[in-house]
Structure 1
Amino acid sequence: MTTDKEVVRNYFNTVGFDRWRRIYADESVKVNKVQLDIRTGHQQTVDYVLQWFKKDGNYSQISVCDAGCGVGSLSLPLAAAGAKVFASDISKQMIAEAKERATDPENPVFTVSDLESLSGKYDTVICLDVLIHYPIEQAESMIKHLASMAKSRLILSFAPKNTYYSLLKKVGELFPGPSKTTRAYLHAESDIKRLLADNGFQVKRKELTCTQFYFSRLLEGVRN
């Protein structure tokens, strides 16, 4: 039986790579209406995180692990602002693209890895738009592992579970189009908050991104 992790790895190394590379590209790369909507939503989530860092004003003093970095949408601006960034992704294609986009060969440091294989200690650990690919049982173990690496802060995003979003998922509107090959899991916010609390974190800040085809709850957990 094929696992969710294998599905995700295969998808983002094959047909999904080109689709999402285009979505995560800048405005000069033309995409269809749905892809443009997802691009806008994803960028809003990234911008929320960058705003949090800017408000804290300590870029140059912290280390960051961006787990599931994709093509570097968050890792690259964090590194450019002065943070020391370690970025990983399960897809070797995504990492190769991220390296191509990087201007500094030493920061971020990129590696191909699944979440459970990551190691080290970082001031902040971030995991955006990854938990949607895994059921709550796997998300629980992933969050536990990510929490073990975070010295002071853990930032997560997930697709929130409610009646409206559950309906969208059922009718196939979450990831529309012929490239839809990954399963999508919605998570109750109460479950994610509980998992953060179980691992020693309390929610300090949160944001919600909602576009037509992209929706994401962003939580910042800080150590108690």
Structure 2
Amino acid sequence: MSNRSNQAIDSSNKNSNTNSKAPKDKEIVRDYFNSTGFDRWRRIYGEGDVNRVQRDIRTGHQQTVDYVLDWFKNDKNAVGQTVCDAGCGTGSLSIPLSAMGAKVYASDISEKMVGEGKARASNPENPIFEVKDLASLSGEYDTVICLDVLIHYPDRESEEMIAHLASLAKSRLILSFAPKNPYYVLMKKVGDMVPGPSKATRAYLHKESDVRRVLQKLGFTIKRKEFTATSFYFSRLLEAVRN
């Protein structure tokens, strides 16, 4: 899943002192999307000319966004619903959701991504954009959505993030993640060997069974699911409703 990155950086260090000073995943993600990664993903999430790989990722990401929008359309419940779009990027989901009548709070760890989202939105009051990481989010929302973010964090941190996001959701939590299976593990290893200046964050795959286990433990039941797979993007999308 090339959700803003599709490779892992070398996390090995020569001694424990170096390990203690190594940047954490959150810091790496924040720095990346405020620097070299911003321009790359701004173009991918936009409509301008991109290369073949970026176009493929754009297509995959948009398919995932469209699945979520279709769920709202099918349920006919967007108008007036409060939604938290956690990790909103440039607003590819937040902006159309707000146009459907939802009251959207959109946050991202990257100040530049949030600035781009504000620039793309026609309504300065909806969505409401703010720079925040997932752990800092607060409040209560009818639906909490987190797309293409968990790939940046290992299992333990991802479980903590899911639990925190679930605590903010009154009725529904929608997540996407890169599923871990032998085929995608192999694809990731191949991608790790391909160098590139825009590849600067770790990429983690997650077992669907583990994500389901966490959601069940938190009191949620899977209502719907979808899967997106293009040449360079793969994503499992789950809609979980509170029991």
TM-score range, shorter chain: over 0.9
List aligned pairs for 1:49-128, cutoff 5 A: 49-128=68-147
Structure 1 CA distance for aligned equivalents of residues 223 and 100 of structure 2: 23
> Does 2:46 correspond to 1:25?
yes
Structure 2 CA distance for aligned equivalents of residues 133 and 160 of structure 1: 13
Please give the secondary structure, in 2, of the residue aligned with 1:65: strand
Relative contact order: is structure 1 or structure 2 higher (C-alpha 8 Å, sep ≥ 6)? 2
- Of 116, 122, 137, which residue of structure 1 is paired with 2:156? 137
Q: Give the counterpart letter for 2:35 in structure 1.
A: T
State the Cα distance separating 1:159 from its structure 2 match. Answer: 0.2
Q: Match of 2:35? A: 14
Contact persistence 1:12–1:94 (CA under 8 A): yes
State the Cα distance separating 1:15 from its structure 2 match. Answer: 0.2
Per mean C-alpha deviation after superposition, the further-off stretch among 171-180 and 95-104 is: 171-180
Aligned length: 222
Q: Deviations over 1:73-111 (max 9, x none)?
A: 000000011000000000000000000000001000010
Q: 1:175 to 1:188 in 2, by over 3 A?
A: farther
Contact persistence 1:174–1:213 (CA under 8 A): no
State the Cα distance separating 1:172 from its structure 2 match. Answer: 1.2
Q: 1:9 to 1:65 in 2, by over 3 A?
A: same
Contact persistence 1:85–1:108 (CA under 8 A): yes
Q: Match of 1:164? A: 183
Compare CA radii of gyration and give the structure with the larger one: 2
Q: Which structure 1 segments of 5+ residues have no match? A: none
Structure 2 CA distance for aligned equivalents of residues 175 and 56 of structure 1: 42
Please give the secondary structure, in 2, of the residue aligned with 1:132: helix
Q: Match of 2:221? A: 202
> Does 2:23 correspond to 1:5?
no
State the Cα distance separating 1:207 from its structure 2 match. Answer: 0.2
Please give the secondary structure, in 2, of the residue aligned with 1:31: coil
Q: Match of 1:155? A: 174
CA RMSD of aligned residues (A): 1.2
Q: 1:115 to 1:107 in 2, by over 3 A?
A: same
Please give the secondary structure, in 1, of the residue aligned with 2:79: helix
Contact persistence 1:62–1:83 (CA under 8 A): yes
Q: Which structure 2 segments of 5+ residues have no match? A: 1-21
Q: Percentage identity across aligned positions?
A: 70
Q: 1:78 to 1:176 in 2, by over 3 A?
A: farther
Contact persistence 1:168–1:174 (CA under 8 A): no
Q: 1:21 to 1:198 in 2, by over 3 A?
A: same
Contact persistence 1:175–1:213 (CA under 8 A): no
Normalization by structure 1: what TM-score?
A: 0.97
Please give the secondary structure, in 2, of the residue aligned with 1:95: helix
State the Cα distance separating 1:177 from its structure 2 match. Answer: 3.6
State the Cα distance separating 1:50 from its structure 2 match. Answer: 0.2
Q: Match of 1:39? A: 58
Q: Give the counterpart letter for 2:27 in structure 1.
A: E
